[in-house]
Amino acid sequence: MRRKASLVLLAFAVFCAAMSPLLRWYAFPRLAKIPANQYQEEVLQAKPATLLDYGTMQAKKVPQVTIVQTLRGNVAESNRIEQSAGRDVVVWDSLSYVAGPDGKMVSEIPERYIFDAHTQAPVHATGEMVDGTPVSREGIEFKWPFLTQKRDYEYFDAQTRTSSPIHYRGTVKFHGLDVYYFEQTIPWTKVSLPTKLPVKGITPESVAKTGTTRWYSTKRMFWVDPVTGAPVNGEEIHKEELRGGTLLGGRAKVTAFAGDVKMRPDYVNYTVNLVKSNRLLVLLLTSYLPWGFLGLGSCLLALALWLEARSRRPGEPDRPDARLPDPEPVIA
């Protein structure tokens, strides 16, 4: 009976040992993915800030500038692109809405970001754009891959429409989480004006005719949860200038926007709580279940060997009938 039990335990031990690497290296890359219908909203603020008054073309100090950034999953476009891409694809329609202290629109920049649902690598397809201009992204944007590594990544900058390294600077504590801190600096670069401007009659085309150009620089900082790859906090020291041309009345340059843009505290708390709940699902597939199955398999194997050893007593043969007493001789 003990031998049968040991064989059953041995079979379960082999099963658990096989499940451990299967969960980590086979199931996880296929099951962990960004849902196609995800919706997310963030509010960022610069307090105080410098903002250009397009009516007078003068820069002035304002108490705050608010940036509302939304990400909306486009399921219909995801399904369309998946048919030709042959893999799970997510399409995010993003909108960055910048409002002045009075709540009026300063600029509005839409984006369409298309990427692999599992790896977050960009997928190039019709419709990929920034502010109506087709782009071909390289690297990541908005989100890091699952199980983020301690290394530099290529990060796409929507203003310059180019990618450049965002550098890993170390591991820090943030709201009880061990997160990776990344930093990217974009030097002063000539960029396009937003398609939508706050003053009626002023368009990118009309500004271009005056010879005035727009320049931009930023220091971008992210605190990223390494398990889910989701940023739990973000900050930008952002600067924009208009330079040259007749629009500035002979001035060499004027500040269009300058400020330290940070996530609003209530959205930081919401994001941290959301990441904490999602990271548990990733850890189940990458750590808890694989190591749990491995540990259970080891225990079952040890128990099976112990039962097998108990079933074999020292000095006794293996045959069950060998333990019967010798028959008494028969006398005729």
pLDDT tens-place string over residues 139-191: 999 999 999 999 999 999 999 999 999 999 999 999 999 999 999 999 999 99
**Cα–Cα dist 10/140, whole Å:** 46
Angle at 230 between CA 258 and CA 35, to 5 degrees: 120
Q: Is residue 210 part of a domain?
A: yes
Amino acid, single-letter form, for residue 123: V
Which residues of the chain carry a pLDDT beneath 50?
A: 332
Question: What domain range includes position 51?
Answer: 32-263
Q: Is residue 317 part of a domain?
A: no
Q: Is residue 196 part of a domain?
A: yes
Q: Which two tokens stand for residue 322?
A: 């060998």
Sign of dihedral through CA atoms 140, 141, 147, 153? positive
Write the pLDDT tens digit of every residue in 216-255.
999 999 999 999 999 999 999 999 999 998 888 888 999 9
Q: Is residue 281 part of a domain?
A: no
Domain count, the chain: 1
DSSP assignment of 212-250: -EEEEEEEEEEEE-TTT--EEEEEEEEEEEEESSGGGTT
Q: Is residue 167 part of a domain?
A: yes
Q: Is residue 302 part of a domain?
A: no
- Phi-psi category of 44—alpha, beta or left, where left has phi over 0 and alpha has psi -120 to 50? beta
**Cα–Cα dist 140/155, whole Å:** 5
How many whole angstroms from its chain centre is CA 106? 28
pTM of the entire structure?
0.86
